[in-house]
Structure 1
Amino acid sequence: MSQQNNAPSQDITTRLIHHAYEPPAGFAAPQPAIHKASTVLFPDVAALRAREWKDKTSYTYGLHGTPTTYRLEERIATLEGGQQCLLAPSGLAAISTVALALLKSGDEVLLPDNAYGPNKALAEAELAHWGITHQMFDPLDPLDLAARISPRTRLVWLEAAGSVTLEFPDLLAQARICRERGVTSALDNTWGAGLAFAPFDLKGDGSLGVDISVHALTKYPSGGGDVLMGSITTRDERLHLKLKLAHMRLGLGVGANDAEAVLRALPSMALRYRAHDVATRELARWMGRQAPVAQVLHPALPGSPGHPHWQALCGSANGGAGAAAGLFSVVFDARHGQERVDAFCDALRLFRLGYSWGGPISLVVPYDLPAMRECATPHLADGHLVRFCVGLEDVQDLRADLEQALGRAFGN
């Protein structure tokens, strides 16, 4: 029913903008309503002055939160086992926010040598320009981490499993060292995704966890390869507020349509993660039996660097089968040149060349590993590394694609 809220003499444009109709409350549907706004309206000056956005009790401006972003933040906090969550425009934006909120000139940040490449680049460039130093530590040696922590160390990044080479560290020992030394620990938990292990409860008794869990929602929470988003989850209110104020001052926000896409995908996330995991393990084992392959890197496979640590932390999930992301890497024997390895990648038809992972399409990328590492890597075979992201295609079709590409490139 149309209602008139102003005198008929007003222009139709004014009447449409200030129309009085409000739909009835109580509409329930499987998917929540999506709220888009920059401006938030206040009923009176008292409300404008009284509202507080930092504790999510009300709304002041779209950048500070809407019902849609609040809802997604709460669900990601539940997924990660945290209490508070912030959304950022990408995983790297979430990483950058942590650094900018917690570090100042004269401070130092430590990173594992197998950390996400853009996080290392941030430390080497922007942070260095601002007088913040950094060191890389051996991700497989907790004693190396302990030895590098100094009075200037304010932040330690952890990653499980490591980027590209997928070493699984002794995350409990690393978190314990940071706790004992009073240094904030931040985990890039994109691989674990809140499903493989609990970042804030590593021992299962509530006694040990990381301080911050950063997650590229671009990957499994989105699941479609079409959203860029990151999250920062915490359990400590004071730490969260420090991060949130920096987040506000940096003007970071996410679009309602992107938040909607992640909200729609979250209910199927655990099912998709498991499907990626099962297919990945099958393909990784198969690749390990192929003649050109010197080494397969996958935390759930015995012999892969850090496998016992994966078993201890992730092995009880899924009824004892464990949980792992849909990634594995292969080191082709050094006797095969880079040109032949590149030809293998080019010959793939279902595995497409492209960065990122966690979506429905399988991906492949060759990496120049020596250019990516500072620490020695005696646990890695000599050769040329290729990383695979396994999508949701039929696993037999993917194996056939690998087989034909091996034949074309290596003559098998």
Structure 2
Amino acid sequence: MPDDTPHRHGFRTRMSHAGRAGVRIHGFVNPAVHRGSTVLFPSCEARRAGAAKRYEQFMTYGTQGGPTHYALEDVIAEIEGGSRCTIVGTGLAAVTLPLMAYLRTGDHCLMPDSVYGPARNIANTLLANWGIETTFYDPCVDEAGMRALLRPNTKVVYTESPGSHTFEIQDIPAIARAAHAHGAKVLMDNTWGIHSFQPFTHGVDVSIQALTKYVGGHSDILLGSVTVNSEEDHLIVRAAASAIGHYASPDDVWLALRGVRTMPIRLKAQEAASIEVARWLEAQPQVRQVLPPALPSHPQHHLFLRDFRGGCSLFGLVLQPRYGEAEMFRFVDSLTLFGIGASWGGYESLALPTTGFI
């Protein structure tokens, strides 16, 4: 008989089947939207037994999620190659949740210097106010360099590959080896590589996603996820989410379930379009460098080929030094088919000037 385990099938096939009952059922193709706060139990004993399952996919109260949430959790865990997933209301919530779950007063955290701006802000404000020190490291650090950065109180090594704006590809396996030998957890913002980078096969403990982007795909939802691959990490993350009261709108969750079905096709087309644009830009005299990791000119292209199964539509570019902020703004303002916005992953084209990063 053929092996029907999910990972024997291709990505597109898995995304059309994950998180739903299957094809041999009588009923609608898509899961329903389940909204609610209060959950009823047949007896006090049943309620007490249910309370012990509050970190599982078991309905005890609305903030613990329901069938719609659980379906999306299963899909994201399937995509990332993990075992358990927790859905939260925004991508930024997905960044803060594991940081709060794993760090305590007196601990030390390592973050790449190219990290997503709001993640840096969290480290410099909330974490600092709670007595947690963060060191921002060179994203291109090797294994020996990471070992040198680790302190006795380093509990979390945060990674993001590619880096925001500057698009460095990190050597995640090397960083993970050093971190794990020290006893630290490796967190990764894997939003860029949701379809192409398998975090847990490369040593990541906790994978963070802004589902707002490629999973939603239409710039009309806000969602995040935190995926793990061990029961220990699941209990830590889920307990923190429950304690803080994280929740996601079931309507947004349902839209994400719908979006994920077409994500493989959308991403393939978006990647091809972005490479075409990047290659055109690479030939323009006003452009100093384009930064898609899929191009051979990228400094860490060899790591991209080793670890990733494909590219992504988001990339950056650097203008020649003679062009300042005014010229950059004028260039972006002149675009007629690109909107000016801070997000990505939807069906529309966006451009956003940034200064002070390179």
TM norm structure 2: 0.90
Is the 2:341–2:351 Cα contact (8 Å) retained in structure 1?
Answer: yes
2:218 equivalent in structure 1:
224
CA distance in 1, matches of 2:69, 2:147: 38
CA distance in 2, matches of 1:40, 1:54: 12
Shift of 1:58: 3.0
Segment of structure 1 superposing worse, 223-232 or 329-338: 329-338
CA distance in 2, matches of 1:57, 1:230: 17
Shift of 1:61: 0.5
2:249 equivalent in structure 1:
255
Is the 2:57–2:66 Cα contact (8 Å) retained in structure 1?
Answer: no
CA distance in 1, matches of 2:190, 2:213: 11
The Cα offsets for residues 369-399 of structure 1, whole Å up to 9 and x where unpaired, read as: 34xxxxxxxxx6xxxxxxxxxxxxxxxxxxx
In the alignment, does 2:41 pair up with 1:47? no
In the alignment, does 2:226 pair up with 1:242? no
Is the 2:57–2:70 Cα contact (8 Å) retained in structure 1?
Answer: no
2:300 equivalent in structure 1:
306
Letter of the 1:35 counterpart? H
Letter of the 1:172 counterpart? P
The match for 1:357 among 344, 353, 356 is 344
CA distance in 1, matches of 2:28, 2:145: 53
RMSD after superposition: 1.3
Letter of the 1:275 counterpart? A
2:153 equivalent in structure 1:
152
Change over 3 Å in CA distance of 1:347–1:241 after alignment to 2: same
CA distance in 2, matches of 1:75, 1:92: 20
Q: Show the 5 A alignment for 1:2-401.
A: 28-51=27-50, 52-56=52-56, 58-142=58-142, 143-193=144-194, 195-202=195-202, 209-314=203-308, 317=309, 323-370=310-357
Q: What is the DSSP-based 3-state SS (H/G/I as helix, E as strand, rest coil) of the residue aligned with 1:366?
A: coil
Shift of 1:121: 0.7
CA distance in 2, matches of 1:43, 1:27: 28
CA distance in 2, matches of 1:37, 1:298: 43
Gaps of 5+ in 2: 1-24
> Larger C-alpha radius of gyration, 1 or 2?
1
Q: What is the DSSP-based 3-state SS (H/G/I as helix, E as strand, rest coil) of the residue aligned with 2:201?
A: coil
The Cα offsets for residues 324-344 of structure 1, whole Å up to 9 and x where unpaired, read as: 111121111111232111101
Shift of 1:46: 2.2
Letter of the 1:39 counterpart? T
Shift of 1:304: 1.2
Q: What is the DSSP-based 3-state SS (H/G/I as helix, E as strand, rest coil) of the residue aligned with 1:336?
A: coil
CA distance in 2, matches of 1:53, 1:164: 41
Shift of 1:173: 1.0
CA distance in 2, matches of 1:66, 1:57: 8
CA distance in 2, matches of 1:330, 1:312: 23
CA distance in 1, matches of 2:32, 2:89: 21
Letter of the 2:48 counterpart? R
Letter of the 1:154 counterpart? K
Change over 3 Å in CA distance of 1:57–1:212 after alignment to 2: closer
CA distance in 2, matches of 1:148, 1:58: 41
CA distance in 2, matches of 1:279, 1:198: 23
Letter of the 1:131 counterpart? G
Q: What is the DSSP-based 3-state SS (H/G/I as helix, E as strand, rest coil) of the residue aligned with 1:327?
A: coil
1:395 equivalent in structure 2:
none
Letter of the 1:38 counterpart? S
Q: What is the DSSP-based 3-state SS (H/G/I as helix, E as strand, rest coil) of the residue aligned with 1:231?
A: strand
CA distance in 2, matches of 1:237, 1:138: 32
CA distance in 1, matches of 2:191, 2:316: 17
Q: What is the DSSP-based 3-state SS (H/G/I as helix, E as strand, rest coil) of the residue aligned with 1:187?
A: strand
Shift of 1:144: 3.0
Ranked by relative contact order (alpha carbons within 8 Å, sequence separation 6 or more), the top structure is 2
CA distance in 2, matches of 1:219, 1:270: 13
Is the 1:211–1:234 Cα contact (8 Å) retained in structure 2?
Answer: yes
The Cα offsets for residues 282-334 of structure 1, whole Å up to 9 and x where unpaired, read as: 110100001111111110111212111101112xx3xxxxx111112111111
1:7 equivalent in structure 2:
none
Is the 1:299–1:324 Cα contact (8 Å) retained in structure 2?
Answer: yes
Q: What is the DSSP-based 3-state SS (H/G/I as helix, E as strand, rest coil) of the residue aligned with 1:201?
A: helix
CA distance in 2, matches of 1:82, 1:298: 27
Letter of the 2:333 counterpart? D
CA distance in 1, matches of 2:175, 2:226: 20
The Cα offsets for residues 171-218 of structure 1, whole Å up to 9 and x where unpaired, read as: 22112211222210001000001x11211113xxxxxx2100011101
CA distance in 1, matches of 2:96, 2:157: 14
Q: What is the DSSP-based 3-state SS (H/G/I as helix, E as strand, rest coil) of the residue aligned with 1:369?
A: coil
Q: What is the DSSP-based 3-state SS (H/G/I as helix, E as strand, rest coil) of the residue aligned with 2:146?
A: helix
CA distance in 2, matches of 1:241, 1:56: 9
Is the 2:87–2:223 Cα contact (8 Å) retained in structure 1?
Answer: yes
Letter of the 1:200 counterpart? F
Is the 1:222–1:266 Cα contact (8 Å) retained in structure 2?
Answer: yes
Letter of the 1:295 counterpart? Q
CA distance in 2, matches of 1:27, 1:42: 27
Letter of the 2:347 counterpart? P
